[in-house]
Every structure is written in C-alpha cells, then in structure tokens.
Amino acid sequence: MRHATPAPAPSCAAGTILCVGGGLQWHVPHATSARGRAGCRAPPSRTGTRGARRTVNEVSGTLRVAQGTRSEPHRAAGGWLLPLAWFALLYNVLVILWGAVVRITGAGAGCGDHWPLCNGVVVPPSLAEKTLIEFSHRLTSGASGVVAIALFAAAFAAVVRRAPATGAPQGRVRLWFGLGLAAAGVLLAGAALQSGALVLLGAGLGLGCLVGWLSALLATRGLTWREAFTRWPVLLGAALSFALILLEGVVGGIQVLLGLTADSTDPARGFVQGIHLANTFALLGALLLTVLWARGEPALRLRGQGRVGAVIAGGVVLMLLLGMAGAVTALGDLLFAPAAGTPLDTVKRDYAATASLIENLRVVHPVLAILGSAYLLWMARLLARLRPSPAVTRWGAALAGVIGVQVLVGFVNVALKAPGWMQLVHLLLACIMWLVTLMLAYRALTLVRADAPAARGSA
C-alpha cells in the first residue's frame, strides 16, 4: 500500500488524529512506547475511499474534520442497543411530564405516606382519581427502571461478545448468581407480606448481588469496570442511566415519606423539588450520551479543554440551577396562586412579612432565566469561534432557537398566571433546551485544537 508523504506542519509531537463520527480523538504516543521511539508515521492514503477529509487552518490552529469512519473501539453497536437507547431517552421525557401532572393535580399524596407500596399494599384496592394518577406515575417510573435494566443488559452483552474469554474459573459467577436468587426471594416475600421494608431490603441485596455477578463476568474476560467503561463508553452511559434512575426513585420516595407532597408548604419541599429536577436533567444527559455512544460517537475528553471546558462547565451548571429554580417557581405557583393583578403585584406579595420561603424564591427563576439565556447565547457564539465546525454551528443555532421559543413561552406562562397545560409546555421545552445545550457541548468537546500542547512525556 502506498503511503502519503508526511506533512511538514503537524509534526510527530502533535500526535495522531483519529476521525470518529464527526468528532476527534487526539492520540499522543508515549515517549517510552515503541511508536514513540520509532517516530510518527503518516497514515495510509485513502484516495478514492470514504475516509475523513482533514484540513488544518494555519491561522486559527483548529483542525476541522468531516464525517468519516469510526474507530474500532467506538464503532456503532449492533442489535437493539441503539433503538433501545433512543426509546429510553424519549420514554423518560414522557415520564418527567407525567410527574409534572402529579404535582399540578396535587396527587402526590394519592398513595398516602407509603413508599414503595401504595397505601400500604402493592396494588391499591380502590383507585380514586388522585390515587390513580400517583399510582400510574409509580408504574411508569418503575417501567423506566425496567427499560434502564434492559439498556444496561444490552450494553453489557455487547461488551461480553467483543471481549474474548480468558478461561478464568466460573465459581464466583455461580456464587453471585445463587445469592441473587436468594435476594429475589426476599423481595417477593416482602411483596407477598405487603412489607415495604422487606421489599427495599430484597431490592438492595439484589442490586449488590447483581454488581457482584457482573464483576465476576467481567473478570472472566480479564476486565475491570474501569477498563470496560474506558473501552466501551456505551456501557458507562447505560450504567450511569441506571444509577440515576435508581436515585430518581429514592428522591421521590423521600419526598413521599416526609410528607412533602399535595398541599405541603414546608420549605424543605422546594429543596427536594430542586434536587429532583437536577437529577432528572442528569438522567437525560446520561441517556443522551448512551445514544451517542451506541451510535459509535467518540468518548468525551474533559482534560486539556482550556477555556472551552470552563465556558461549557459554566453553561451546564447554569442550566442545572435554572432548572432547579424553575421547579421551585412551579411549586410556588401551585401552592400560592399568582396575585390577581400584574406580575409586580405577585412579587410584592411574595416579599410581604407573612410570605413563605417558597414565595420568596419564586422570582429567582425568571431573573436567572434572563441572565442564563444571555450566557448560553454568548457561549454558543464563542464555541462557534473557538471550535469552528458545521456541527457546533448547527447546534449553536438550534440552542438560540430553543431559547427564543422558551423565553416567549415563559412570558406567556406568567401572563396567563401559570395554567397547568402551559407549565407542561414550559417543562418540555426546558428538557429540549437542556439536551440541545449538551449536544452543543459534546460537539465542541470532541473537537480538539491542532495546536493543543502535547501530553507530558509524549514524543
């Protein structure tokens, strides 16, 4: 095979560039490696093929890479993994919206102060309206857990298929499997005895046994969890999604057990609502990464991103704070209806001597929304300049469009005094805005400057 003549500008010190799904991976050979000692070899010419087209902008020092082939460690997953990841993402958006319906209708106490059981039983004998709404939300949330398990199982099966067996003994695998069956027995006994404590104990033991069993299976492939997550990022995304869904259920359970539902005006309810929303956003982010990695997109490189990384971190944190403040404001609109006059009349009442903390915090969200929108628009323009690529430009424009629509809906929501249907539209747009922000960040972070300093010890 003929090899292209090495280009004089990007020297061996710059490392090797791999085009992966429209992004970049920057591989710098270690000084002590054979490749580092032998020097940097130019990649084989792929004239006439679908290889990546590479051009270096000498002025900006930025490498632009067109869509090309994916590297072997991050090739697209086959089978049902990608469709399942998409389904999990879209389904969880619907579950989030149904959870908002529970809050808007005041049905959070529809199952009493019992969790995970409903009114002390697995299936309530009578389904009044609020009980039906709350119980259906628990069922849909439980189904999202089942989907997360299926997603993780599909990702783990893909890893096991690709990693060759080492011939290690299977004793630990059988041991953990047997312990898992015993834990399942405890869970089923708790359900039969209508004991929430036994159900939680069985679920906790079962989760521990599952982790042990999977660890033993990885050991038969000569892998640790860290190695598996590094080589197959889709497994990391699926694992994070499953963990965050579990945490979502725990936060919801704490809210029910503490009585922070229905008409409760306890300030702690606002705090729990904010944490709930932040975890929800984190869950959507993990599911989005799982979709990307199931498509064969490159893993994130967070180190060495410089100003780009700092700006993106600020945008992500600001979006989380904006969402948490929005959850508190929506709770305030539910518990303390806006004043009959103008929005200023509502603000005055929120800071009266008899106003509660939740009322005091209601104004934070609209103020933060204006400041946050300005920051995100600035971030999109900056990323388009620092990491120029069609993908970054496209997602930056999408973010600007979503922000425009969301701000308009926010003003209409205030003008109409926050009707339930408008709150749902506002929440849906918030989820979309969060996902678009993450896509912009992902595309920018998977592009690496060609003049970036080499890693320490590189040749």
Domain membership of residue 16 (yes or no) is yes
Task: Answer whether 436's CB lies under 8 Å from 396's CB.
Answer: no
Is 433 within the bounds of a domain?
no
Nearest to 235 by CA among 177, 289, 305: 289
Q: Which amino acid is at 186?
A: V
The answer to the question of residue 50 being in a domain is yes
pLDDT in tens, the chain (459 residues): 444 444 444 433 333 333 333 333 333 333 333 334 333 334 443 333 333 333 333 333 333 333 333 333 455 666 789 999 999 999 999 999 999 999 999 888 888 888 888 888 888 888 888 899 999 999 999 999 999 999 999 999 988 888 888 877 788 899 999 999 999 999 999 888 888 889 889 999 999 999 999 999 999 888 999 999 999 999 999 999 999 999 999 999 999 989 898 888 899 999 999 999 999 999 999 999 999 999 999 998 888 899 999 999 999 999 999 999 999 999 989 888 888 888 888 888 899 888 899 989 999 999 999 999 999 999 999 999 999 999 999 999 999 999 999 999 999 999 999 999 999 999 999 999 999 999 999 999 998 543 344 333 333
First CA to last CA distance, the chain: 26
pLDDT at 457: 34
Q: Is residue 47 part of a domain?
A: yes
Q: How many CB atoms lie within 10 A of CB 393?
A: 16
Identify whether the C-beta of residue 190 lies closer than 8 Å to the C-beta of residue 197: yes
Alpha-carbon distances of 163 from 111, 173, 213, 219, rounded to whole Å: 46, 17, 17, 11
Cβ atoms of residues 399 and 380 within 8 Å: yes
Any idea what the Cα angle at residue 311 is, between residues 309 and 317, rounded to 5°?
100
Q: How does DSSP assign 410-439, residue by residue? A: HHHHHHTT--HHHHHHHHHHHHHHHHHHHH
62: which strand partners?
57, 449
Confirm whether 153 is domain-assigned: no
Strand partners for 121: 118
The beta-carbon contacts of 302-309 under 8 Å, at least 24 apart in sequence, are 302/445, 304/452, 304/453, 304/455, 305/445, 307/386, 308/383, 308/386, 308/387, 308/444, 308/445, 309/445
72 contact partners, CB below 8 Å, separation of at least 6: none
Q: How far apart are CA 219 and CA 386, in angstroms?
A: 43
* Number of folded domains that form the chain: 1
What is this structure's pTM?
0.79
Domain of residue 47: give its range: 12-74
Helices marked H in 46-195: 81-105, 129-162, 171-192
Specify whether the CB–CB gap between 308 and 392 falls below 8 A.
no
Q: Is 322 left (phi over 0), alpha (psi -120 to 50) or beta?
A: alpha
Would you say 43 and 6 are in contact if contact means Cβ atoms under 8 Å apart?
A: no
Residue 144 lies in a domain: no
Residue 386 domain-assigned (yes or no): no
Q: Is residue 35 part of a domain?
A: yes
Instruction: Name the phi and psi angles at 30, rounded to 5.
Output: -75, 150
